[in-house]
Amino acid sequence: MAIYSTNEFKSGLKIMLDNDPCAIIENEFVKPGKGQAFNRVKIRNLKTGRVIERTFKSGESLEGADVVDVEMQYLYNDGEFRHFMVPDTFEQYQCEEKLVGEASKWLKDQDNCTITLWNDAPLSVTPINFVELAIVETDPGVRGDTSGGGGKPAKLETGAVVRVPLFVQQGEVIKVDTRTGEYISRVKE
């Protein structure tokens, strides 16, 4: 695997730190005019999701991590594992529920998502930014209310609960931003 020096550190670079694969979020070059140069680096541990700050002496280097993001299609949940497939190669991957984490509430069969692989094993699952899901349960809205003021909770087919405007009805399909969990719009069938 490649070796990266502090001056090659940039946002998104995947490196190994304390035996875990990590992604660099931010790299700040800090140098007192007459003193030692440091790189103060914000790093996300890709296994735990935790963000840490670590300082390196400029010129130090770290081993790269074999981490790639692959577009896959979500197939099904067998109760123990979630199964995904690379559409082009039909190659399949299984992923433990705990690795799927928060993403599980946006996963619908056949939908695309991004799987992060470390040494060809799934590390995490990221849903696409916008999903379209049907509402399976919500209170009937008040007739004539077309504004978004207030809103009400709605349960979606994947189990996620989002706030929707009062005029949105059970059975309708809505578009949701998975990064914020916010309702965007109704989707016309």
Interface residue list for other proteins (CB under 8 A): 7, 28-38, 40, 53-58
Instruction: Find the shortest distance in angstroms from Cβ 33 to other proteins.
Output: 5
Q: Report, in Å, the least distance between residue 11 CB and other proteins.
A: 13
CB of 55 to other proteins, least distance (A): 6
Please report how close the Cβ of residue 41 comes to other proteins at its closest, in angstroms. 10
CA 4 – CA 12 distance, rounded (Å) = 13
Structure tokens given for 14: 């995947």
CA atoms of 62 and 43, how far apart (whole Å):
13
The smaller minimum CB distance to other proteins, of residues 37 and 85, is found at 37
139 DSSP assignment: P
Report the residue number, 37 or 117, with the smaller CB distance to other proteins. 37
Task: Give least dist CB 63 to other proteins, A.
Answer: 16
Cβ distance to other proteins smaller for residue 4 or 183 = 4
Nearer to other proteins, 31 or 179 (CB): 31
Per-position b or e across 14-23, b if 16+ CB within 10 A of its CB: bbbbeebbbb
Kindly give the pairing relationship between strand 67-77 and strand 81-85. antiparallel
Contact by Cβ (8 Å): 170, 138: yes
Residue that is written with structure tokens 């197939």 in the block: 75
Residue closer to other proteins by CB (options 53, 96) is 53
Strands (E), 65-181: 67-77, 81-85, 92-96, 112-118, 121-127, 130-138, 152-156, 161-164, 173-177
Q: For tokens 């931010």, what's the residue?
A: 26
